[in-house]
Amino acid sequence: MKTLLITLKVFAFILLFTNTSLYAEVISGTVPAYDKVYRSDRVGDAYHFLILTKNGRYYHLYTNRTDKLTKSELKSPNLLKILKKKQSWGKSFPKKGNYTVDSGKIYTKLLWDRIKIISKTKITYLNKTFKLQ
């Protein structure tokens, strides 16, 4: 009976330990590099681009027309024309909006999607990891 009790305690300890996350979610005090272009690794045949501004705006682009964009190109109202000049074929899906900070975490205002700051050079958004370009 005693060995069964000890075995259950050990099993409970192992179960508790394996369910505990070993990685920190956000390093406290880390802020993103504002007004800089973040780019994801290649996903399929396309890239994702992201900019966060200090005044609470974000610009997101999913495209296979290019692998490099400047800050002014991504913020431009003529973004689709700029991308057509870079490459005549392909797809592009620009999105922009506002974000908010709630309890030290950044969320988009429209759909409350989380923008997780990993470090000053790395951000996670919509299950994609973006690195400073």
pTM of the predicted structure, to 2 decimals: 0.76
How far is the C-alpha of 85 from the C-alpha of 70, rounded, in Å? 14
pLDDT band at 104 (very low <50, low <70, confident <90, very high): confident
The domains found in the chain, sorted by start residue, are 30-132 (2.40.128.500)
- Pairing of β 92-102 and β 47-52: unpaired
Where helices occur in the chain by DSSP H, the ranges are: 2-18, 71-75, 79-86
Tell me the pLDDT tens digit for each residue of 35-51. 999 999 999 899 999 99
**Amino acid code (one letter) for 54:** K
